[in-house]
């Protein structure tokens, strides 16, 4: 427990804070791994209105816009990276990140999507790696039968990321969404701290984490 900071949800493996990561991250100390998927700022650009009316609304980085209409500032991503020894940032190609060797890619094996693949910047000392799984396969015959956040990553993808990071025990996700990073960490016996500024997603994440640990 951090003085003056009350968790929204807390259990042995995962703590969720409801609030602004700009304020909370500096209070948390250092982690083994940053694993996160911040807003990319692309909004409805690629879906041509398909998601119109389905996105949540909140006040983001100084604007009263929808949740994915503006990227967080580069200094905030840098602050989050500095909070961990190792970092994996999905959508890192949208930010002014340092040169990197170990880029990751999620190949969606092309059913309909806004893009054929997504990229993650990392500071891992590894060759570029590709994870291949369609969204259909990710949610078929799994405990997760549907996405509960518009940009939710598959559980299998986030578990793969943790495995690539090697011997890590503590994980930070300051843009937690519906809590997939926390679920993956819990399944793998790690300890995770999640931060999410929209309360409805904190509630979804807490509910998902209250389920039994599942084999991946």
Q: Where along the chain do its domains lie?
A: 9-46+73-199
Averaged confidence pLDDT in the chain:
82
Is 63 or 168 the better-scoring residue by pLDDT?
A: 168
1 close to 28: Cβ distance less than 8 angstroms: no
| 160-193 per-position pLDDT tens digit | 999 999 999 999 999 999 899 999 999 999 999 9
What percent of the chain stands above pLDDT 70?
A: 73
Q: Global pTM?
A: 0.82
Residue 41 has a pLDDT of 65
pLDDT tens for 107-134 read 988 655 567 889 999 999 999 999 998 7
Query: Does the domain formed by 9-46+73-199 have CATH 3.40.50.150?
Result: yes
Which CB contacts under 8 angstroms, 24+ apart, belong to 145-150?
Answer: 147/178, 148/178, 148/204, 148/208, 149/177, 149/178, 149/201, 149/204, 150/51, 150/54, 150/55, 150/56, 150/67, 150/68
Return the pLDDT at 140.
60
- Report, as an integer, the average pLDDT of 137-158: 70
Phi, psi dihedral angles at 137 (to 5 degrees): -65, -35
b or e along 5-22 (b: 16 or more beta carbons within 10 Å of the residue's beta carbon)? eebbbeeebbbbbbeebb
Lowest-pLDDT range of 7-16, 82-91, 104-113 = 104-113
pLDDT at 66: 43
| Lowest-confidence segment of 41-55, 81-95, 118-132 by average pLDDT | 41-55
């Amino acid at each position: 427990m951090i003085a003056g900071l009350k968790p929204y949800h807390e259990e042995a493996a995962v703590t969720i804070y409801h609030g602004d990561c700009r304020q909370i991250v500096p209070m948390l100390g250092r982690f083994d791994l940053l694993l996160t998927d911040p807003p990319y700022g692309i909004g409805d650009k690629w879906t041509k209105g398909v998601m119109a009316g389905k996105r949540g609304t909140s006040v983001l980085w100084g604007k009263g816009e929808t949740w994915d209409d503006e990227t967080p500032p580069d200094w905030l991503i840098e602050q989050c990276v500095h909070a961990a020894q190792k970092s994996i940032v999905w959508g890192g190609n949208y930010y002014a990140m340092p040169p990197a060797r170990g880029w990751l890619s999620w190949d969606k094996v092309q059913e309909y999507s806004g893009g054929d693949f997504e990229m993650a910047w990392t500071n891992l000392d590894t060759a570029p790696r590709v994870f291949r799984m369609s969204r259909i396969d990710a949610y078929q015959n799994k405990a997760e039968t549907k996405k509960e956040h518009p940009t939710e990553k598959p559980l299998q993808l986030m578990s793969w990321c943790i495995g690539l990071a090697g011997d890590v025990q503590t994980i930070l996700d300051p843009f937690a969404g519906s809590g997939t990073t926390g679920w993956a960490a819990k399944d793998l016996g790690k300890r995770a701290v999640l931060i999410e500024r929209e309360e409805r997603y904190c509630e979804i994440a807490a509910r998902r984490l209250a389920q039994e640990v599942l084999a991946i």
